[in-house]
Structure 1
Amino acid sequence: MVKLFKALTASLLIAILAACGGGGGSAGTPVQGGGTGTGGTGTGGTGTTANGQIVLSLSDSSGAASNVLTAAGLTAKATATDSTGAPAKNIVVTFTLDSVIAVLSPISGTALTDANGVAQISLKPGAGASTGAGTLTASATVTGTTAVTTTATYTVTSATITPSAINFTSAVPADKSIVLKGSGGNGRTEAALLTFTVVDSTNAGIANVKVNFSLPTTNAVTLGAASGISDSTGKITVTVNSGATPTTVRVIATIDGTAISALSDTVTVTTGQPTQTAMSVSRVKSDIEGIDFDGETNSVTVSMADQFGGVVANGTQAVFTTNAGAIIGDAGTSDTSRCLTVNGTCSVTWRSQNPRASVVTVLVTSANATQTLTSGTFFINSGSHAQFSTIPVFDFSTSCAPQTINFTVTDENGYILPTGSAVTIENLTNSTVTAYPTSIPEPSTAGPEATSVQLTVAPPGTCSPAAATVVSVKPVVVITTPKGTRSTKQLTLNYHGS
């Protein structure tokens, strides 16, 4: 009986110990494994439930088991298996720390198990002056809804986390260019974010290090903060806010209490709001043949700069209006009447259609923080049908010497004909007639304008004032527009001869 009682007692004690230590627990109750160990032994822990198990271990950069956290960091591996002992694949393991003397990388503290059921994460020292011991916890739901949790301890000493450098890392915006204060908007920023990284001798980031910021000279910018603390990856960001004056600036970042510093790349403050005096509008063609035709086009461009002559920020809006025809925005690509600047300029396409006017006016409107800006241009909308002034009869009854006369020509509304319209002579009948100019030039005014054409006429070689016979020749002046419309005017040449 005594032997039986001792055997039952031993069995009961083993069962109690198994429930309290690293052994199995009842389903639905996470059981945390033990194993705190000592520095340098690479201790870990095991957590087990009826749904699975997690084994947590720590190792140094060489892969050897260790729980001493140096600047090189430690790797924490959590190996998850299900209730059958098979690897638990593609489950999320969450790692947490109980102290700021260390930080996790990635900072999310989560990792996914691989085909072997292993999820791993890195530990790095935290604050430069913080030492001591801490605990890392790993937790995951292997199957079902019951979480499995286990822990491992580590130690940090001050000698392992001394910063050795601070590096300039990045800038936002990437082109390091910001606009003048008050000029921000869609696609324009008045602030640059400069990021530095505090690193140790192995170029590993160090968290919780104070960094001071300063400007090398007096600049028309302000810093968002005079100092800050590096994050878990050693990074720290400072904001540079623009002022009202164009300038360039570089920021100095210095690790507090040391001479360790870094200089940022140059940030440029150049682009401001448009001003009335730096706004101009131009068009490609001085006239178009649009009175009698739809769909003839002209390109109209606006150029804008700020008060210092710097081009305005990309995306500055310009709205176009016209007294005739229609405006197609963004260089003829959008169903708007506006365009957005790129490098300080943008254009729209004007198209001929109803309503029509002989002088087309295009106005452009933009704005800055305090006023509306307006500028404009004009061009002639020419008709295609020529109107001729009176051309006298050429009379060679007393002399056969060449004669020169002038006449004028306009479109049907009294404005200049389309530029490039050809002036030719037909039906010469052995006479000689030359015209100058041979094509209609560009308009020179915004109002009605006639083109003066000079004709030099010589009768045929048979001309003789002594001859009794009067011969009449009927040459024709022809004006042909670029669209192919022909207008004619008959000449009369009378001479004596055969």
Structure 2
Amino acid sequence: MHLIHSSGWAALARRAAHAAAVLTAAALVAACGGDSEPASEPPFGGSTPAGSGGGGNGSTKSNVVLTLKLTDAAGASTSTIATGQPVRAQAVLTRDGALVANEIVQFSVEQPVELVRIDPAAGSVLTASDGTAVVTVSSLGASTGAGTIKASAKVGDEAVTAGANFFASGSSTTSPASLALGPVQISSASVSAYGTTGIQVQVLREGQPYTSPVTVNFTSSCAAGKASVTSSATTKPNGVADGTFVDNGCAQTADATVTITASISTDSKSGSVLVRAPTTGSLRFLSVEPSDKSITLRGQGGNGRQENATVTFRLVDVAGQGVADTNVCFDVSTYIGGLNLDGYSPTTLPANRGSTALCGNDPLSQVRYVKRTNPDGTVSVQINSGTVPTPVRVRARSLYPATASVPLESFSDTLSISTGLPLQRSFSLSVDKANIDGGNFDGEVASLTVRLADQFSNPVPDGTVVNFIGSGAAVCTANNGSCKTTDGACSCNVVSQERRPADNRVVVTAYAVGMEDFDDLNGDNLYTPGVDGFSLTLQDLGDAYVDANKDGKYGDGSTTAPTNPTINGDTDIPIPYQKNDVITVKGDGVRGTAHIRASTVIYLSRASSAGDPTVVVPLRSLDRSYSLTGGAASQPFVRLKPICPKDTPMPQATIATLLDDGIGNPMAAGTTLAVVDASTNVAPAGFRPSSVLAVGARPPMPGIDLPNTEKPLKWTSSDANGNVPTAHSITVRGVEDKCAGNASFALEVKSPRGGSATARVLYEGEPKDTLRSAFAVRYLDQVAFEARALGAGNVTVMPEAWVGSAAGPSAATKVTIDWGDGSKTDGTIPSTPVAHHYASAGTKTIAVSVVAGGVTYSSSQSIDVP
């Protein structure tokens, strides 16, 4: 099967007419003039269309709304982000009240210092069928302060934004004042001398389990050194914290009641356990194998993981010598998912079960499995995992000496039956920045992170190996091409150097041994052929490969005997798995292990001073002057209204721009943008954002990357021609009492390792070799016309031109002259001046409007009529 990536890129590729919408997903603020006031910023949590600079556009738009809220682990609204307690930022996108799916929402953070991070790091998320897009926001723990989570989206030509304020703490917060502890649960009422038992307590909020992590501290009343107890534990999502108590001689001469206390900052609770004195011997927990106390789910062993564990206890007399040939009864704290002891479970009981006097008659006494101690007093039992992740303890009981009426009792440490092999659907690849200043410089670094989880979305075991192969640069140089997971994730670096592909786009594939996906239709957590779903087209994985030539298939696409052509210097790199030395493109038709994988493109962006930084302005952001007398349309420009007396709002227009490095790749993350060489009669604000942001991970896509050479073709709104720019906007304002004539300004860019350079300025659709280094600004009314007073109340008006969107339409269909005396002249475009007679002399205001493409453009001027 071809490479599958879990991000939204694959879905976009199936539905997008072209990659332009994908690659310029940030909301672009467009304007076609300067007649209107700037839109005010919406209140946080709401949304507004991105503003434009007016111009008499009378078209009707649909109502696109984006809302944003922050919620905690319980789903409650919050504005606090504490260390270790991440929150969810959830955006909801609607259009005319209907939920909008499969649109990009771009999340970002405005913060005075590094307070929080967003996951995924790229911040781009597709809306689901319910219109929602969600990212996780986590405190970095370094500083305390406030900031804003921002979200932006675009539906058609309408862009909207939303925001939510937050306060981030610089360290773990104390427990909320409303938290309380439930009763302290101790696994057994009594414990043998030198024995072990479990402790459990639940953190509650208003009587319900508190799902955010909380640290619970445990202490015991035993003298120092006479017992060990888990000092602290962090609660699980169900609010439960687990600990262990081990006696080290707390009851020397007589049985002793030991108090175990659990505490948080707002509450404490205690429980007690009877510790037996060693006057009759003791039953001690010795060990568990594997030593990390973790085994995998049934059916998912291998790759260094086993599905069973051996737990050993030892029965000793008062002198500490092993007691041989004595019955010990075993049960476990849970048999969920088919877990069993030496093959025995509540559904498969041993032939000779232990008595209730020995084994007890409490809820744990379900199997009552009895074994006899070895000559050294040891006895071992094997736990075989089930199909459900769970913690489990083994309880051992023995009546010693034979005349004893109360059995010795001890528990093992907690054994974790948790994660299995990672699944393809839970293999996630991200990058801190895919656009690095590596086109002209060696040693620039992009950090890749892989996250893996099993069938239950539990992190894979620490030490799981992930391999990386790239089509260029250097990958994982410090780790011999691989990394090992900790807490389900691991990272390695891509470092710029030769080889650099022709398009400066390196493909990196990460892969690991894992399991193919399946649909667990009967809900038993196991794959059953013929019962559960397994798609041969979507879930049956062929061998992985690095799609170096970016054509979307391995080699020539043959599934039987593929050849591997080189396209513009790039040849796919096979990663065989099903056979040792030959790649197998198709899956084997059987659900099992495979190389699970994901790929991303890393851009070795050209440096500012060594490349050709290019900024493209979409035509929808610009205007043209269209002649009404048969002349040609002008070149595009930014229009401002030609009037700005003192103490009046300055005319302004906001335009969208798209910046690349000159060969179709984004400039490197951290590249700065600045306005330079502005005319004295224009005041551009800074570009927003003022630096190039990090681009996230995406797999190679033929529609974007082919041909895998420099992208020489022009960018248009309907066809990006493989260009991958970053989006920036700028607001251009007039200068008081100087709003006349023409003006210009330029864009200066500076990449992290490059020098300052003036960007080439292209208008949408222009060839890349067009020579222009500045943005043109003109102060013009929407309609230009000449009005002449002829005397005796007679005037003539000659409409000459109108100013409208550079994207068209370029043909006017109707001209209307409002003479200001209650009369109008409607008609087609006049070829000669239109005459009118006023009944009285005086100052008259004449308005001329032009209709083009269903939009009305108008201007007026006053004339003295004698």
Match of 1:448 in 2: 723
What TM-score comes out, normalization by structure 1 length? 0.54
State the SS of the aligned residue for 2:752.
Answer: coil
Q: Contact (CA 8 Å) 2:682, 2:744: kept in 1 or not?
A: no
Q: Contact (CA 8 Å) 2:428, 2:451: kept in 1 or not?
A: yes
Match of 1:152 in 2: none
Question: Structure 2 counterpart of 1:484, which letter?
Answer: G
- Matches of residues 76-95 of structure 1 in structure 2 within 5 Å? none
Identity %: 27
Name which of 327, 330, 341 aligns with 1:223.
341
Q: Kindly tell me: are residues 403 and 388 of structure 1, through their superposed partners in 2, closer, same or farther at Cα, counting changes over 3 Å? A: same
Q: Contact (CA 8 Å) 1:394, 1:492: kept in 2 or not?
A: yes
Match of 1:264 in 2: 411
Q: Does 1:176 align with 2:296?
A: no
Name which of 508, 518, 538 aligns with 1:362.
508
State the SS of the aligned residue for 2:448.
Answer: strand
Separation in structure 1 between the aligned mates of residue 738 and residue 485 of structure 2, nearest angstrom: 68
Deviations 1:208-262 (A, max 9, x none): 4343434465443333485544344422222223233323333333447966342
Match of 1:417 in 2: 667
Name which of 299, 313, 321 aligns with 2:447.
299
Deviations 1:264-318 (A, max 9, x none): 2232211211112222111111422222222211111111111122221222222
Structure 2 alignment gaps of length 5 or more? 1-278, 344-368, 516-591, 623-634, 645-650, 699-703, 705-721, 760-772, 779-866
Q: Contact (CA 8 Å) 2:389, 2:417: kept in 1 or not?
A: yes
Separation in structure 1 between the aligned mates of residue 393 and residue 437 of structure 2, nearest angstrom: 56
Name which of 364, 387, 391 aligns with 1:248.
391
**1:349 to partner: Cα distance:** 0.9
Q: Does 1:309 align with 2:457?
A: yes
- The count of residues paired between Structure 1 and Structure 2 equals 324
State the SS of the aligned residue for 2:425.
Answer: helix
Question: Structure 1 counterpart of 2:424, which letter?
Answer: Q
**1:164 to partner: Cα distance:** 4.8
Q: Contact (CA 8 Å) 2:675, 2:686: kept in 1 or not?
A: no
Q: Contact (CA 8 Å) 1:425, 1:433: kept in 2 or not?
A: no
Match of 1:280 in 2: 428
Q: Contact (CA 8 Å) 1:167, 1:196: kept in 2 or not?
A: yes
State the SS of the aligned residue for 1:277.
Answer: helix
Larger RCO (CA within 8 A; separation ≥ 6): 2
State the SS of the aligned residue for 1:298.
Answer: strand
Q: Kindly tell me: are residues 223 and 484 of structure 1, through their superposed partners in 2, closer, same or farther at Cα, counting changes over 3 Å? A: same
Structure 1 alignment gaps of length 5 or more? 1-161, 466-471
Q: Kindly tell me: are residues 464 and 252 of structure 1, through their superposed partners in 2, closer, same or farther at Cα, counting changes over 3 Å? A: closer
Q: Kindly tell me: are residues 168 and 290 of structure 1, through their superposed partners in 2, closer, same or farther at Cα, counting changes over 3 Å? A: same
Deviations 1:186-224 (A, max 9, x none): 653433232212122444432343434344654433334
Q: Kindly tell me: are residues 275 and 477 of structure 1, through their superposed partners in 2, closer, same or farther at Cα, counting changes over 3 Å? A: closer
Q: Kindly tell me: are residues 427 and 376 of structure 1, through their superposed partners in 2, closer, same or farther at Cα, counting changes over 3 Å? A: closer
Match of 2:159 in 1: none
**1:173 to partner: Cα distance:** 3.7
- Matches of residues 457-496 of structure 1 in structure 2 within 5 Å? 476-488=746-758, 490-491=773-774
Q: Does 1:199 align with 2:316?
A: yes
Separation in structure 2 between the aligned mates of residue 165 and residue 463 of structure 1, nearest angstrom: 96
Match of 1:371 in 2: 593
Q: Kindly tell me: are residues 463 and 346 of structure 1, through their superposed partners in 2, closer, same or farther at Cα, counting changes over 3 Å? A: closer
| Cα RMSD (Å) | 4.1
Separation in structure 2 between the aligned mates of residue 492 and residue 170 of structure 1, nearest angstrom: 75
Match of 1:6 in 2: none
Q: Contact (CA 8 Å) 1:282, 1:302: kept in 2 or not?
A: yes
Separation in structure 1 between the aligned mates of residue 735 and residue 398 of structure 2, nearest angstrom: 99
Separation in structure 2 between the aligned mates of residue 272 and residue 286 of structure 1, nearest angstrom: 31
Separation in structure 1 between the aligned mates of residue 304 and residue 757 of structure 2, nearest angstrom: 54
Match of 2:684 in 1: 434
**1:461 to partner: Cα distance:** 6.9
Separation in structure 2 between the aligned mates of residue 395 and residue 233 of structure 1, nearest angstrom: 92
Match of 1:22 in 2: none
Name which of 483, 487, 506 aligns with 1:343.
487
Separation in structure 2 between the aligned mates of residue 290 and residue 313 of structure 1, nearest angstrom: 34
Q: Contact (CA 8 Å) 2:674, 2:686: kept in 1 or not?
A: no
| Greater C-alpha radius of gyration | 1
